[in-house]
């Protein structure tokens, strides 16, 4: 019992004992937690008493409490601060955890009790949330294969274990390619780069124990390099390395991993009687069918491609005026788009970034949360898992709401991208438990003594992830099954994408966008130019996203392709993909759909949610105030605090009164008309 993971977390607010943890603690903690969970599940399944909601569903909600606690700590660290030891354990755990999941969801005794409860649900006198939780359990077990028998049952278990192994391999391969590649930059290679890019390259070199400057595959470094470097040869080299993650041959190549995963997913769906994996995966989502997804994406594709092709012609003319003949290439787009933005809007990223300091943008997000929902944020001095991570206590009217952790800087031990997670979710079952929420980003870390500066896209990312954090922090349900972000995949992005809109509220930037050195507010003229340019280059952004979503759908909608790269090329050719734009996520590093299956057949969900978020923010416009108290109260009640306690469409209709069309999205992206 000396293992800190197996003892009560008695630090303030129930924080994990980060300071006492050793990598060697995790394997025995998982063993003990799995043993306890198995015993508790068996007791529920074998209980001879008449099954009831409390003895089956509520008991299952608490049966894996220790395993959930250990898992949340380990998997958060494996994503945000991994190591060789943690990666080795992650590979070892993948089949074990999948096997345990199958033991539970394919347990014949449990399935009999759950399906029996669902069959007589009208006689159980359940509350609305309890009925929703029972519905979700019945659906989860049925879709996991609880009703299968014989060879089909055993094959389903094998498929789940193999898919877990492959998804872990996929994720670790991408991280390895990102970690291992860098390009040293000599003094001449820095010409034309703004000071913030030079500083980030210097910090990246220091993080790798090198002198001088290096370029890495961190998005917050490579994107501004592609925007500002006049060296076309270096842009090409860097861009090709960036898009080749997972496609470099050898042990980290993900092409065969992706092919096998697609084949196994198809087999899994067919075992359950579905025509395709997409049909299986979309059944519980708001979209319901592949046809509905394709319908939305194609409504957006046409206007986006037309805008992108018009922009491509402009950028190519600019390149030719520089004396460079031939076609505009993917590594040219951002460079000439940045020059065009400067020419048309007099907007210079180097001029803008000093007003978008990380501290100011954190403060802006906190201030918006305070004005909308009354939340207060107090810094905490507590042990965390990495020196770069920071924590705040979140309160409202003096009452504890949550702990919020922010981990903002890129490092080689962190996977790329940005995400929200939790070290503990909210629940009321068995006593009130408030959440511990974490936002993880990959912003460029400044040199010692210098302020961290964000691009406008970085600031939008910070607001996006904080929107997810609010969904977790304001959760107010009884059962863990429906707490926080435990909602349909194409609903989960609504709170995050909606919160991005407050970054564009002029008074927010007027209050918080202050120069990191002088403290002066952003000049009004610069603010106006920034807001005027907010839908600049949306043809590019929309095309690269929608192309990725349509490739994802094509992978899973029919028979699994033997060669995913050939299928990718076929889909893009059929769409008429503009030649100077590539998918946002090429197949070998498309972690959203292959590092787990959370977004498989579901990458479209950002756009599905965007249809709602554009309409939802219009509710504040209609009220005449971006911080209208009544609208904010409805948003919290029906969206942020409700979790998955009701069908998402029902929740949205209660907030807004109706479902929206695609028009607000097209207008918001500058693609209408």
pLDDT single digits (tens) 171-205 = 999 999 999 999 999 999 999 999 999 999 999 99
304 belongs to a structural domain? no
Q: Are residues 431 and 519 in the same domain?
A: yes
What's the confidence (pLDDT) of residue 30? 98
Q: How far is CA 589 from CA 172, 192, 286, 468, 560, in A?
A: 10, 30, 27, 24, 18
Residue of 141, 647, 633, 564 lying closest to 372 (CA atoms): 633
Question: What is the domain range of residue 526?
Answer: 354-532
Q: Which residue has the tokens 């709602």?
A: 612
- Judge if 139 and 187 occupy the same domain: no
pLDDT at 672: 86
What's the structural domain count of the chain? 3
Tokens of 289: 């069918």
For 515-570, write each residue's pLDDT tens digit. 999 999 999 999 999 999 989 999 999 999 999 999 999 999 999 999 999 999 99
Q: Residue 378: exposed, middle, or buried by beta-carbon count in 10 A (0-12, 13-18, 19+)?
A: exposed
Asked if residue 600 belongs to a domain, the reply is no
Kindly tell me if the per-residue pLDDT of 447 is higher than 90.
no
Residue 338 pLDDT > 90: yes
Catalytic, out of 338, 465, 557, 636: 465
How far is it, in rounded angstroms, from Cα 21 to Cα 4? 7
Active site residue 465: yes
The DSSP bridge pattern shows strands 399-409 and 183-185 to be unpaired
Same domain, 202 and 116: no
33 and 85 inside one domain: yes
In a domain, 99, yes or no: yes
Tell me, what CATH number does 454's domain have?
1.10.1370.40
Q: What is the pTM of this model?
A: 0.96
Measured distance CA(427)–CA(457) in Å, rounded: 34
From the CB of residue 12, how many other CB atoms can be counted at a distance below 10 Å?
12
269 vs 275: CA distance, rounded Å: 7
Cα–Cα distance for residue pair 585/439, rounded to 1 Å: 22
Judge if 186 and 69 occupy the same domain: no
Residue pLDDT, tens place only, 58-81 = 999 999 999 999 999 999 999 999
Is position 35 within any domain?
Answer: yes
Is a pLDDT exceeding 80 seen at residue 1?
A: no
In sequence order, the 6+-apart residues with CB closer than 8 A to the CB of 232 are 324, 331, 332, 335
pLDDT band at 448 (very low <50, low <70, confident <90, very high): confident
161-174 mean pLDDT: 98
- 127 and 205 fall within a common domain: no
**Is residue 552 in some structural domain?**
no
User: Contact, 294 vs 611, CB < 8 A?
Assistant: no
Do 368 and 515 lie in one domain? The reply is yes
Tokens for 673?
């008309």
Distances (CA, A) of 515 to 338, 346, 351, 511, 556: 22, 18, 10, 11, 48
Is residue 254 in a domain? no
Residue 604 above 70 pLDDT?
Answer: yes
Of 147, 166, 193, which closes a domain?
147
**Looking up tokens 């554009």, which residue turns up?**
614
Mean pLDDT computed over every residue of the chain:
97
Specify whether 93 is located in the same domain as 222.
Answer: no
CB 200 within 8 A of CB 453: no
> Is residue 499 located within the same domain as residue 364?
yes
Tell which of 497, 532, 567 closes a domain: 532
Q: What is the pLDDT of residue 187?
A: 96
**Residues 236, 141 share a domain:** no
Please provide the size of the chain in residues: 673
| pLDDT tens for each residue of 408-425 | 999 999 999 999 999 999
CATH number at residue 132: 1.20.1050.40
Q: Dump pLDDT digits (tens) for 344-374.
A: 999 988 899 999 999 999 999 999 999 999 9
Compute the distance between CA of residue 593 and CA of residue 555 in angstroms, rounded to an integer: 10
In this structure, the answer to whether residues 522 and 382 fall within a common structural domain is: yes
CB 378 within 8 A of CB 395: yes
Whether residue 100 contacts residue 70, with contact meaning beta carbons closer than 8 Å, is answered with no
**What mean pLDDT do residues 321-342 have?**
97
Cα-based distances in Å from 518 to 346, 355, 495, 513: 22, 10, 34, 12
- Measured at the CA of 93, the angle between CA 89 and CA 94, to 5 degrees, comes to 120
Please identify, among 220, 244, 268, the residue that sits at the C-terminal boundary of a domain: 244
Lowest-confidence region among 170-184, 314-328, 626-640, 657-671: 657-671
pLDDT for 117-131, tens place per residue? Answer: 999 999 999 999 999
- Please check whether residue 629 lies inside any domain of the structure: no
Judged on CB neighbours under 10 Å (0-12, 13-18, 19+), 292 is middle
672, 566, 658: which is closest to 616 by C-alpha? 658
Average pLDDT over residues 131-138: 98
498 and 361 share a domain?
Answer: yes
Q: Is residue 451 part of a domain?
A: yes
Considering only CA atoms, give the Rg of the chain: 25
pLDDT score of 16 more than 90: yes
């Amino acid at each position: 019992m000396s293992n800190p993971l197996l003892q009560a977390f008695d630090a303030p607010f129930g924080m994990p004992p980060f300071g006492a943890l050793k990598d060697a603690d995790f394997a025995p903690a998982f063993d003990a937690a799995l043993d306890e969970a198995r015993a508790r599940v068996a007791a529920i399944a074998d209980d001879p008493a008449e099954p009831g909601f409390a003895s089956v569903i509520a008991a299952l909600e608490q049966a894996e409490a220790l395993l959930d606690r250990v898992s949340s700590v380990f998997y958060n660290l494996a994503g945000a601060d991994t190591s060789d030891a943690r990666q080795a354990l992650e590979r070892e755990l993948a089949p074990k955890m999948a096997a345990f999941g199958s033991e539970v969801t394919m347990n014949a005794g449990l399935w009999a009790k759950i399906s029996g409860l669902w069959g007589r649900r009208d006689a159980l006198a359940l509350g609305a949330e309890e009925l929703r939780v029972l519905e979700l359990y019945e659906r989860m077990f049925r879709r996991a294969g609880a009703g299968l028998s014989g060879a089909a049952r055993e094959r389903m278990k094998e498929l789940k274990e193999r898919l877990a192994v492959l998804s872990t391999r996929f994720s670790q391969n991408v991280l390895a390619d990102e970690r291992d590649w860098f390009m040293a930059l000599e003094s001449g290679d820095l010409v034309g780069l703004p000071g913030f890019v030079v500083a980030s390259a210097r910090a990246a070199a220091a993080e790798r124990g090198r002198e001088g400057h290096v370029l890495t595959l961190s998005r917050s470094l490579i994107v501004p390099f592609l925007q500002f470097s006049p060296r076309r040869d270096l842009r090409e080299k860097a861009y090709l390395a960036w898009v080749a993650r997972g496609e470099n041959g050898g042990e980290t190549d993900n092409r065969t991993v992706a092919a096998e995963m697609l084949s196994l997913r198809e087999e899994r769906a067919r075992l359950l009687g579905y025509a395709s994996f997409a049909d299986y995966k979309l059944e519980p989502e708001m979209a319901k069918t592949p046809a509905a997804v394709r319908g939305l994406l194609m409504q957006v594709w046409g206007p986006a491609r037309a805008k992108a092709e018009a922009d491509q012609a402009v950028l190519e003319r600019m390149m030719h005026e520089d004396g460079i003949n031939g076609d505009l290439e993917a590594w040219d787009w951002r460079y000439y788009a940045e020059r065009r933005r400067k020419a048309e809007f007099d907007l210079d990223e180097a001029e803008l970034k000093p007003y978008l300091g990380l501290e100011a943008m954190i403060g802006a997000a906190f201030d918006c949360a305070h004005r909308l929902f009354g939340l207060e944020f107090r810094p905490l001095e507590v042990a965390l898992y990495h020196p770069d991570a920071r924590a705040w206590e979140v309160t409202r009217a003096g009452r504890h709401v949550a702990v919020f952790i922010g981990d903002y800087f890129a490092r080689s031990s962190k996977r790329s991208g940005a995400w929200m997670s939790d070290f503990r979710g909210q629940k009321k079952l068995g006593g009130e438990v408030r959440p511990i929420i974490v936002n993880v980003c990959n912003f460029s870390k400044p040199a010692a003594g210098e302020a961290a500066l964000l691009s406008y896209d970085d600031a939008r990312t910070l607001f996006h992830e904080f929107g997810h954090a609010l969904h977790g922090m304001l959760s107010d349900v009884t059962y863990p099954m429906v707490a926080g972000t435990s909602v349909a995949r194409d609903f989960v992005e609504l709170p995050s994408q909606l919160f991005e809109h407050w970054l564009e509220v002029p008074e927010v930037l007027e209050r918080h966008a202050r120069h990191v050195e002088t403290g002066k507010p952003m000049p009004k003229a610069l603010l106006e130019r920034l807001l005027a340019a907010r839908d600049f280059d949306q043809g590019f952004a929309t095309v690269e996203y929608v192309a990725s979503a349509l490739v994802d759908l094509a992978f899973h909608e029919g028979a699994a392709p033997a060669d995913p790269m050939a299928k990718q090329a076929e889909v893009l050719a059929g769409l008429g993909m503009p030649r100077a734009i590539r998918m946002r996520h090429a197949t070998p590093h498309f972690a959203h759909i292959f590092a787990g299956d959370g977004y498989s057949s579901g990458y479209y969900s950002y756009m599905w949610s965007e249809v709602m978020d554009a309409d939802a923010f219009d509710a504040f416009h209609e009220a005449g105030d971006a911080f209208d108290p009544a609208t904010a109260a409805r948003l919290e009640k029906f969206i942020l605090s409700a979790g998955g306690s009701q069908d998402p469409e029902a929740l949205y209709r209660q907030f807004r009164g109706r479902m929206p069309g695609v028009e607000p999205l097209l207008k918001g992206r500058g693609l209408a008309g």
